[in-house]
Amino acid sequence: MKIAYLVNQYPKVSHSFIRREILAVEATGIEVLRFSVRSLEDELVDEADKQELAKTKFILNVGVIGLFLSLLWAILTRPFRLFSGFKLALKVGKKSERGILYHLIYLVEACVLLRWLLESEVEHLHVHFGTNSTTVAMLCKALGGPTYSFTVHGPEEFDKPQAINLTEKINHASFVVAISSFGKSQLYRWCDYKQWSKIQVVRCGVDHLFLEQPHVPVPDEPRFVCVGRLSEQKGHLLLVEAVSQLAAEGVKFKLVFVGDGELRHPIETLMSQLNLKDYIEITGWATNTQVREQILAAQALVLPSFAEGLPVVLMEALALGRPALTTYIAGIPELVEPNKNGWLVPAGSIPSLKEAMKAVLNTPCEQLEEMGKLGAEQVAKQHNITTEATKLGLLFRQVRQQ
């Protein structure tokens, strides 16, 4: 069977979980082609991502002339299908956040994608994220392209389901993947109950680089790590405030931010104002190997997010035997259990975050080791990418049989 993946931005530093999934699906015997709307080549730091870059075709790389020629091809070869796609673009564009013009652009992008899919004899298209890339997939199907499915991660899809026409996308899809039970319940909210059978839970996973890592004892040095894009919804500014309060109490420890993003400058400014240079370090983007090293060097991962789906970094930390301190939102409580493999605090509460960090620092290493062990067992059982890709591969094959 030959399928294709479409992602708005791929490969991407923060999308290593998609790369793992694609490779694991290929290991089941399914051929996978990679397509992306746009390239982020300049941001890539991991060699594995650079290898994926060479395997990926980018829609916008065809340029204005390429877009026009693909539209002309569709006009000449499938005028009635193009008219159907045009009507669908108008329908969803009127109700959308981005408007009709953007959806007409998505229609032209769908023409480019359709030519590639037909030339490669792709049988099914799978998309990650229910936003504009799924719009392109839906329009591509309207033009006569293959069936499609998509994975919804959240929180964006659940923040504005009507603005991105989530219901329409579910109606046209062969199936829809949720990455948690929470995500499944939210998808149920935005489609007719007759569509509920389409919603399947396939969890994000980690591979042997995390599952088979030799055990590294929890270090004695009091140290937290926070991995991910530096953005407002991750709660980083509140974490800096919590660090400041602990420092004022004379508590000694280190926090390492692994990642980069639009909030880096505000974080650095706040660090300077609060005189926290001895407490906080920002590494910038890191390779998979560097991320593992930073997690293993810490006693616990901390992630005080306001909005999430189910962060893959939690799986990575637990798989490496490090407990997690995070917030009880979305699908997180399905993985992180208080007093078992981590700590859960209310999102947005600096006092709760500070007290939980203090609890981590006061927990003996032997107990942190046991919590990390339980976390690793949970991830191995629930988030093994080989197991999850096998489930996904079965769904792809079922579509072909329909």
CATH 3.40.50.2000 in the chain, residues? 2-205+384-401, 208-382
Angle formed by the axes of helices 63-77 and 99-120, to 10°?
80
Q: What is the DSSP letter of 154?
A: -
Predicted pLDDT of residue 367: 98
How far, in Å, CA of 317 to CA of 13, rounded? 17
DSSP letters, 172-211, are: HSSEEEESSHHHHHHHHHTS-GGGGGGEEE----B-HHHH
Nearest to 154 by CA among 186, 125, 196: 186
Q: Within a 10 A sphere around the Cβ of 277, how many other Cβ atoms?
A: 10
Mean pLDDT over residues 196-205, rounded? Answer: 98
Domain at 208-382, CATH homologous superfamily: Glycogen Phosphorylase B; (3.40.50.2000)
What is the band of 45 on the pLDDT scale with cuts at 50, 70, 90? confident
- Give the global pTM: 0.94
What is the band of 324 on the pLDDT scale with cuts at 50, 70, 90? very high
Query: Could you give the strand order of the β-sheet that contains 342-345, starting from the edge strand earlier in sequence?
Result: 280-282, 254-258, 223-227, 300-303, 324-327, 342-345
Query: pLDDT (tens digit, 9 = 90+) per residue, 131-165?
Result: 999 999 999 999 999 999 999 999 999 999 999 99
How far, in Å, CA of 243 to CA of 245, rounded? 5
CA dihedral 203, 51, 264, 323 (to 10 degrees): 40
Nearest to 325 by CA among 337, 334, 316: 337
Class of domain 2-205+384-401: alpha beta
Query: pLDDT (tens digit, 9 = 90+) per residue, 156-193?
Result: 999 999 999 999 999 999 999 999 999 999 999 999 99
pLDDT(401) > 90: no
Mean pLDDT over residues 89-94, rounded? Answer: 96
